[in-house]
Amino acid sequence: MKMIKTLLLFLVLFLRQLNIFAEDGHELWLRSKPAKPVTIISRGNSATMQMAIQELQKGWQGTAGAIFFLKLKKDISLQGDGFKLSASGVQASTELGILYGVFEMLRRQRTGETIHAFVSNPSYSHRILNHWDNLDGSIERGYAGKSIFWRTTDPFTVTQKDKALWQSYARANASVGINGAVIDNVNANPLILTTDYLQRTKAIADVLRPFGVKVYLAVKFSSPALVGHLKTSDPLDAAVIKWWNNKVKEIYQLIPDFGGFLVKASSEGQPGPQDFGRTHADGANMLADAVKPFGGLIMWRAFVYSPNDKDRAKQAYNEFVPLDGKFRDNVIIQVKNGPIDFMPREPFSPLFGAMQKTPVMVEFQITQEYLGHSTHLVFLSPMWEETLKSDTYQFGKGSTVAKCTDGTLKPQKYSAIAGVSNVGSDVNWTGHDFAQANWYAFGRLAWNHDLPSSQIADEWLKLTFNNATEKTANDAFYLNHHFLDPVKQMMLDSREAAVNYMMPLGLHHIMSANGHYGPGPWWGPVGMRADWTPPYYHQADSMGIGFNRTTTGSDAVEQYHEPIASLLNNASSCPDPLLLWFHHLPWDFKMKSGRTLWDEICVHYDKGVKQVRAFQSTWDQAAPYIDAERFSAVQRKLRSQSSNAVLWKDACLLYFQQFSKMPIPAEVERPVHNIDEIIQKDMRRENYDQSL
């Protein structure tokens, strides 16, 4: 048996030397490449420092035989885990700063960027992935396989395979500066706080620790009653407070650097302090007091809404603004980028400009719940950049969402940013090779929220498809014009293309109920909560389309500072991309382009289809520079995306045409589907899903 294993190992190594193994994308943007020798001068023998040294030794692409210093030294210019980088070394105040500086050096070497002396400090102190992973191994809104943390079969055994996967995951996070992970679903299972699951959490934390990735847990607010067998979970009840204090002590005994809790309360059926007549502040502060002695953080989600006839977009603001200033200093309010739910385009949440005494953090969604899952190529960095650069006017002009959340505009103990992870057990981690770019982009923006999306896309392409760059290394013109430039432009255009063929001009929440994937503007079963159905949002009728959030409607505009409120309130000044978010307008309303609103809607849907077809052409022309495996995988995905875009266009235009009674413009491609067939197919799928 031993001889057979030896022969198999030899065969594997031999085949790798011949480059016969297929490219599976597992290496992400950290693809291996023969390293040049380097002499490293450093002090310290911790696991983190050893990781930094190993990364340099196996990845150095600078001058052969160079001397490189790793220096731990405090400096007034360095904040948190920031670092100073020069051609000769890295200086930082922390060992993690050294590791981040090493990854920065290696990235610049591999992308051909100039390496000059500069200081890099993180925009946010806490840069966190939220995993919506369930304890049975499934992932809510995950499109890349099973959880890498949890499983149903033999759930508490930790294998070497587990540890190797967690280590690769942690290394990828560290390479882009991500320093935290909530490893279970916000719709939390109370069992996560029981002994066996905490022991597995400890095992995960032990592997992630050397890479600077702290573990956090999402917890169910009613855990004291559900697993503690108390009569109540009232946050002001003495027994409940004692239970949480004891549970927190137990966790920190196992995991001394445990990050804290993420809480989804009083939302979508999840229990919360309101169940006991208490406020969000009462619930958050009780948990904050429990973790404070250990340096823990409470991230309290502001994703709250209840079934009523009012505008759902206003509810988070209405619940949280009256509590501004009443939260402990280790509570941070986690706010989705928009006021509804990760739509292809939303205005920024008004909470970013309203909470002046309470820290808030942005929550982005990396996994593409409403943007084609792991089938559609949609580079999300432009979407996040759009949000971060939006001016809230909280403290006057220049009060961007980024500055409202990073501690620039008001004193706060913690700053943070979160991204709902798209990581799963698929060999390429994210299901779509280009979805890796969104994981990468989140980390880069979390570290430096001023980075332009074009730079992030350029970096990721060079790091991820370095086989292409190596093939044409001696011909920069050929490389740029035939691979990097066109594919980068495809990435940068992809989000706007998705908006065009899904929900243009401010339309939102008109997707199918079946997995939030395809179109479904018609979906509205009798008895269903109105705010769970598309007609609630698009409001299409014979008079027009759009949700009236002006002063004559729900008055959601009043939640924004001036001059934004007035800008959005007037249809003539409201930006076209948000027009139907804030206005219900007649079908013949004259747009800035000179077209009618109906024609403008048609043109946008048609443009989205044409953009995706152009992506197919761009990718096909990139074939000579891409390994066959990833080229074919992306090509297949683009074909599916193209057919999906046509379905979105046909379904939405044919459905809305029933109200507009206006012809589709001659220049727009004719529908190839019938609306009744689309709806019937969608209903059959819904019935099938409900029978499972």
User: Residues with catalytic annotation?
Assistant: 268, 341, 369
From 298, 336, 339, 281, select the one nearest 126 (Cα to Cα).
298
Helix ranges restricted to H, 223-350: 223-226, 238-254, 280-291, 315-320
- State how beta strands 118-120 and 83-86 pair: antiparallel
Amino acid, res. 404: C
* Structure tokens given for 84: 């100073």
C-alpha angle 549-532-344 in degrees, rounded to nearest 5: 65
* Structure tokens given for 394: 């909280």
The H helix count followed by the E strand count for the chain is 23, 13
From residue 619, give the alpha-carbon distance in Å to each of 471, 477, 483, 536, 643.
Answer: 17, 18, 9, 38, 16
- State how beta strands 331-336 and 360-365 pair: parallel
Distance CA 84, CA 58 (A): 22
DSSP assignment, residue 481? Answer: I
* Adjacent-strand bridge partners of 133: 139
Helix ranges restricted to H, 349-479: 351-354, 381-388, 401-405, 436-447, 453-464, 466-471, 476-479
Strands (E), 43-166: 66-72, 83-86, 89-92, 118-120, 126-130
- Exposed, middle or buried by CB within 10 Å (0-12, 13-18, 19+), for 485? middle
